[in-house]
Amino acid sequence: MTSSAKEPRLTIPTITTSQSTPQTPREQRKKKILFKCALTNTISDVLTNRDGWAQTQGDDWQFFWVTREWMTTCYDKHKFSEKQLICHFRNDFELTRKDFLIKNYKKARKVKEKSGVDVSQEFNFIPSSYVLPTEYHLFVEEFRKYPTDTIWIMKPVAGAQGKGIFLFRKLKHVQEWKKKDSTGSEALPYVVQSYISNPYLVGGKKFDVRIYVLVTSFRPMNAWVHREGFARFSHSRYSTDSVDDAFVHLTNVAVAKTAADYDPERGLKWSLPKLFRFFKSMHGQSKVSKTMNELAKVIIESLKSVQNLIIQDSHCFELYGYDILFDENLKPWLLEVNASPSLTASSQEDFELKYRVLNHMIDVLDVEKKLLGNENEIGGFDILVRNNKPVEICKVPRHTQPFFGAQFNLRLASRMQRILLLTFLLIPLHSTTTHTTESYFDSSEEAPNVLLNHLDGIDEEDLQEVNDTQPPFVPGSSKRLTEYLLSKHNLNAPPDGLLYVEYELELVHILGIDELKQTMTVLIYVDEHWIDPSLTWDPALFGGITKTWVPLDKIWVPDIIVFNMLAHEDLLSAVRAPARIYSNGTVVASHPAVHTVSCEINIRHFPLDDQRCAIEIASWAYGHEKIRLHAHTDHSLEHYKRNEEWHLLNLNVTEEKYEHEGIEVSEVKFEISVKRRPLFYMVTLTFPSYIMCAISVVGLFARFSTTGEREERFTLGVTAILTMAVLSLVVSEKVPHSSTHVPLLVAYFLFNMVIVSIAAMTTGIVMKVHRLGRYGDEPHEFWMKLFFLRPIFRNSNRRTYRMNPEEPTQVILVSETRNGGELQTKKTSELNGTAVKEVLLSSRLEALEEYIRKMVHRCETIKWELDEIDAAENIESVRRRSTNGYVRISERLDIVFMFFFLSTVTIPVVVLFYLS
């Protein structure tokens, strides 16, 4: 719009306020409310036209509508009187900046999850979001989990009017945000979110809803919600075919105005009551009531997520503009929260709406002190939260039904617009028919002049033209600013009042854990944020500089240390490490360091042990009433690098109080939980120990021989025991010399020593049983049955020879069994192979000599046969020993004990490997 364009002529609406009886001019002068207003839009009109209010230029005001610049430069210096009110909280950016909103939402979500709440159902009103570039690697991991056609949306953290927003499907497109502008400075941070690709459509168009929420106090929380609001529709019908068309996906009026076919007479906005009447007609009362409840929960939970972070001041209040998107299931999603949403009107209807909201807001604030304090509705505002408790049911006389504060039953405005709901649905985009009278008005947010551009569809010439309009830096401004800050700052004087220090510890690497000294050494990055009012400046006086750097030794720094620190190495000690200072007095001190802290090492389950080491952060001299620490964990593990010996389980952060030398200090404790990787100990100690025990057991009970005493088995057992003792000494040098617990690995070695010792003693019992069998003794039948053995009956052949009385030339071989078998005989061949003549004692003497010679030869033959018989008997004796009952029992004992002791030494090592 050019400067010659006609501005709409706005008429002050007639508003019924909470005033009861008219006052005389004298009473009005006596009770006049003085105000100041830094803006010249709707709020100025509201304040000027209120009865009994008058504008002042001095410091005797009671109500001041300030700007963001006043909050950063003058708030900390101003001394408020009892009745003064301003329109902002000191750090309302915790809720209104997109990156801080996501950070606090994630933190609250973790707290809910730890308390057992199903966050996917009960605390899920912001899409999956990441802040770039700090969470870029986390986003890449999340991106790869989604289908390839998933749509993501990028938003600048401090953007407005749809500037800088773009959609993408491929990861390479996100690199656009990394591009530098023409001045060479880095692009501002962005927020990337999973795009809600199934929004609720009205007439085929996407829309979001603006709801006004007034917070008068955070501790305790008191919040009000206004019944009036509006829904903003996109310019074109919704489709996911193209992600580059801003007219399809964005509902900002500033974006729609750039369309070639833009028609300001078309109604791209609906009032909030009209929208909910449409919902009710399409889905019924029960569905709409459920949506109301969910919408109220979104507002309440978002306020609770920052309740403990916002600096509470009874002189402050805040009017927030909530932007809500409904999906096709009427589930509300929070897009962003705006501080002091756009108060500049672009049409009569826009002016009347904002005039009513602001006028009712002042009624709620009760500057005139006319209210009782227990009202449930004031003007168009309904109570939502009172003293930290959601309001359940508030009876309102002029309404036929009760409305629910906590359930957020947005009632219809008193002025009922008589419009056909289906008119918006049935009129196509190209139609030239007259549209509804619901006016199209601009609701652009008030925001700082941030250089943000659409990354798609803008050429370098346009970008250069916009950059040329930015004011250049004035030479010498940085030097003048540094001299100015150091001249008014005293490095020995802390800031006045209570100081909140935001402390963030980023764990980079676990360098090691010394079990003997019971210490942990870690590499960390430390970020400390605090606000020092003596380091503020007006950027307009120093060439537009909003950030500078000053050495830490030139400014006051809180004495925050690690209480349980044993050694410390500041990696920037040789460098004049600067602190970043912003124009609002925010000081950011960052540095890397190597800390060695004391830990209580628990060696009971070594090497399958978990260890917990805490890094205790606190101020040494300043008590809780002066310095309070708040922990930030958004980037605690962003640059963490894994350790080969220790696996990081989690990093828990707690805020508590600690009494130190009679001083109660604010403490932040970062507890690092790690688990040892036991593979090294299992391979180098446990497995060799098992192999030695298994070989010893096999050697003690193996059946190599049934003769001899087998004394070498005892030698093998003693060798194995000595090996276990040496291994246990190796482990004892690794762990602390504790008398309360025995390490699991040492207990395993002791167990193996005991098992091998028992196995060696058991071998002596087996040898005793075996020796009884060698002497030819037989066990009782009971022992044979006990070991499931049956007796073996042996056939013992005893050979005897005698002359055949009938045939003197032959001998008979007699074989007789010992078990009572029958007598068996067998004829043998002739002894000499020739016929022996019958010789009688009375025969001739010459024949006697021949007979004697024959008999001698026969005796020699019999002797040879008897030697053969003795050899057979020796073989039979050996066979008889092997079938002896005691020998067989000893064999059975060897097998049983071998399997028993092998199982005994195998089961523990299998369990250890499984647990590792």
DSSP string, 548-584: EEEEGGGS----EEETTEEEEEETTTTTT-EEEEETT
Average pLDDT, the chain: 77
Cα–Cα distance between 703 and 890 in angstroms, integer? 10
- According to DSSP, the residues that pair with 637 across neighbouring strands are none
Of 33-37, 180-184, 327-331, give the lowest mean pLDDT range.
180-184
State pLDDT tens for residues 863-887: 787 777 766 666 655 555 556 777 7
The per-residue pLDDT for range 243-284, each reduced to its tens digit, is 888 888 887 777 777 776 776 656 577 888 888 888 988 888
pLDDT above 80: residue 712: no
Q: Exposed (0-12), middle (13-18) or buried (19+): which is 662, by Cβ within 10 Å?
A: exposed
| Superfamily grouping for domain 495-676 | Neurotransmitter-gated ion-channel ligand-binding domain (2.70.170.10)
More confident residue, 240 or 66: 66
Quote helix, strand, coil % in the chain, to nearest 5.
35, 25, 45
Alpha-carbon gap, residue 320 to 92, rounded angstroms:
10
More reliable by pLDDT, 317 or 402:
317
Query: Omega before 736 cis (within 30°)?
Result: no
Mean pLDDT of 562-573: 80
Whether the pLDDT of residue 519 is over 70: the answer is: yes
Sequence-distant (6+) residues with CB within 8 A of 809 are 830, 831, 835, 836
| Contact in structure between 280 and 454 (CB atoms under 8 Å) | no
Q: Residue 534's closest CA among 494, 479, 476, 589?
A: 494
- Identify the pLDDT of residue 399: 36
Q: What pLDDT is recorded for position 178?
A: 64
Long-range contacts for 739-745 (Cβ within 8 Å, ≥24 apart)? Answer: 741/602, 741/603, 741/604, 742/604, 743/603, 743/604, 743/605, 743/606, 743/607, 744/604, 744/605, 744/606, 744/607, 744/608, 744/609, 744/912, 745/606, 745/607, 745/681, 745/685, 745/686
Instruction: Count Cβ neighbours within 10 Å for each residue of 112-130 and write b for 16 or more, e otherwise.
Output: beeeeeeeeeebebbbebb
Residue 563 has which token pair? 């209480």
Which phi-psi region, left, alpha or beta, contains residue 28 (left: φ > 0; alpha: ψ -120 to 50)? alpha
Taking residues 877-906, what's their average pLDDT? 79
pLDDT score for 834: 41
Task: Report whether CATH 1.20.58 matches the domain 680-778+892-915.
Answer: yes
Comparing 796 with 242, the larger pLDDT belongs to 242
Q: What is the dihedral of CA 259, 261, 264, 270, to 10 degrees?
A: -80
Give the bridge partners for 217, in sequence order.
Answer: 222
Burial pattern 748-758, b for ≥16 Cβ within 10 A else e, equals bbebbbebbee
Q: Which residues of 580-616 are buried (b: 16+ CB within 10 A; e: fewer)?
A: ebbbbbbbbbbbebbbbbbbebbbebbbbbebbbbbb
Instruction: Please give the single-letter amino acid code of residue 903.
Output: S
819: DSSP letter: T
Give yes or no for a contact between 267 and 451, defined as CB atoms under 8 angstroms apart: no
CA–CA distance, 477 with 544 (Å, rounded to integer): 9
> Rounded distance, CA 282 to CA 328, Å?
12
- 263 versus 338: the higher-pLDDT residue is 338
- 352 compared with 423, residue with greater pLDDT: 352
d(CA 593, CA 572): 8
Say which residues have a Cβ less than 8 Å from residue 801's Cβ, sequence separation at least 6.
Answer: 811, 812, 813, 814, 862, 865
Strands 565-570 and 578-582: unpaired
Would you state the pLDDT for residue 407? 38
- The band of 805, judged by pLDDT with boundaries at 50, 70 and 90, is low
Task: Give the predicted TM-score (pTM) of the model.
Answer: 0.47
Q: Where does residue 123 fall: left (phi above 0), alpha (psi -120 to 50 degrees), or beta otherwise?
A: beta
DSSP string for residues in 302-355: HHHHTTTTS---TTB-EEEEEEEEEBTT--EEEEEEEES-----SSHHHHHHHH
Predicted confidence at residue 23, as pLDDT, reads 47
Q: Name the residue with higher pLDDT: 743 or 333.
A: 333
Share of the chain above pLDDT 90, in %: 26
Q: For position 532, what pLDDT does the model report?
A: 93
Between 137-151, 386-400, 718-732, 809-823, the lowest mean confidence (pLDDT) is in: 809-823
- pLDDT bin (cut points 50, 70, 90) of residue 332 is very high
State the amino acid at position 715 in one-letter form: T
pLDDT at 672: 93
Average pLDDT, integer, range 713-726: 76
pLDDT tens figures, 186-221:
557 888 899 998 999 988 889 999 999 999 999 999
Q: What is the pLDDT of residue 240?
A: 84
Helices (H) and strands (E) in the chain, counts: 22, 31
| Nearby residues of 536 by Cβ (< 8 Å), 6 or more positions away | 72, 73, 76, 77, 583, 584, 585
